[in-house]
Amino acid sequence: MGVSAGASATSLVFSDPSFDADLDQQAITVLAGHSWPSHTSVRVAVGLVVDGTLTTADRRFDLGAGPLASAAISHQWSFAPWFVTGSFSLGASRVHTRETTAGATASARISLLAIDGRVAATAGRSFGPFSPYVLARAFGGPILWTFDGDDTRGTDAHHYQLGAGASLTLSDRLTFLVDIAALGERAASLGVAVNL
């Protein structure tokens, strides 16, 4: 079991270039998973996008709170003290946007649905309870939005993340994690996991 809080920022491209936008959002997620002795594990996560903004060239939209969910499978190869982990996940989130451009009249709440599939690899080294790693992720999926009454389909301008992270295990049950992607889709998260 675990809980994490994170933030992300990226650029979106749509079928109509005039809709292209920068997106930033913050979310809280609760996770549950199971690991086997073979070092294969599965995980499901549910959470809430709590805040964010979507900004086009000349307009701004606030994100209302909305649900998110994902499922993942991963496997770790250990070459003590080194390790490599590969994973595949599917996820989706649904929020509402409302225009808050200065001078704009009150607008309706419009749904924005994002679907995401990604593969990831991390490689690192354990120093006792401390395990730093580097990460690479590739992903893709549609973003469905209605802009000025027109249904449009978009996607992330960056279909990758590159970054680093670390875990700190304080006991057989408690682990703290930090994960930062600085290139591509930018993201950062802090989490704590409890082994039941």
Burial class (CB in 10 A: 0-12, 13-18, 19+), 5: middle
Alpha-carbon torsion angle 124, 127, 130, 134, nearest 10:
-20
Q: In terms of Cα–Cα distance, which of 99, 95, 97, 112 is closest to 151?
A: 112
pTM for this prediction: 0.89
**59 phi and psi, to 5 degrees?**
-140, 155
- Other Cβ atoms less than 10 A from the Cβ of 39: the count is 13
**DSSP sequence for 25-89:** EEEEEEEEEEE-TTSEEEEEEEEEEEEEEEE-SS-EEEEPPEEEEEEEEEEEEEETTEEEEEEEE
CB 95 within 8 A of CB 63: yes
pLDDT score, position 171: 83
DSSP 171: S
pLDDT tens per residue across all 196 residues of the chain: 999 999 999 999 998 887 899 999 999 999 999 999 999 999 999 999 999 999 988 889 999 999 999 999 999 999 989 999 999 999 999 999 998 887 766 677 889 999 999 999 999 999 999 999 999 999 999 999 987 788 889 999 999 999 999 999 998 889 999 999 999 999 999 999 998 7
Burial of 27 (0-12, 13-18, 19+ CB in 10 A): buried
What local confidence, expressed as pLDDT, does residue 101 receive?
A: 86
Q: List the chain domain ranges.
A: 2-194
Structure tokens at 76: 């770790």
pLDDT value, residue 195: 86
Protein fold of 2-194: Lipocalin (2.40.128)
Enumerate long-range contacts of 62-67, CB under 8 Å, 24 or more apart: 62/97, 62/98, 62/100, 63/25, 63/95, 63/96, 63/97, 63/112, 64/95, 64/96, 64/97, 64/98, 64/109, 65/95, 66/93, 66/94, 66/95, 66/96, 67/93, 67/94
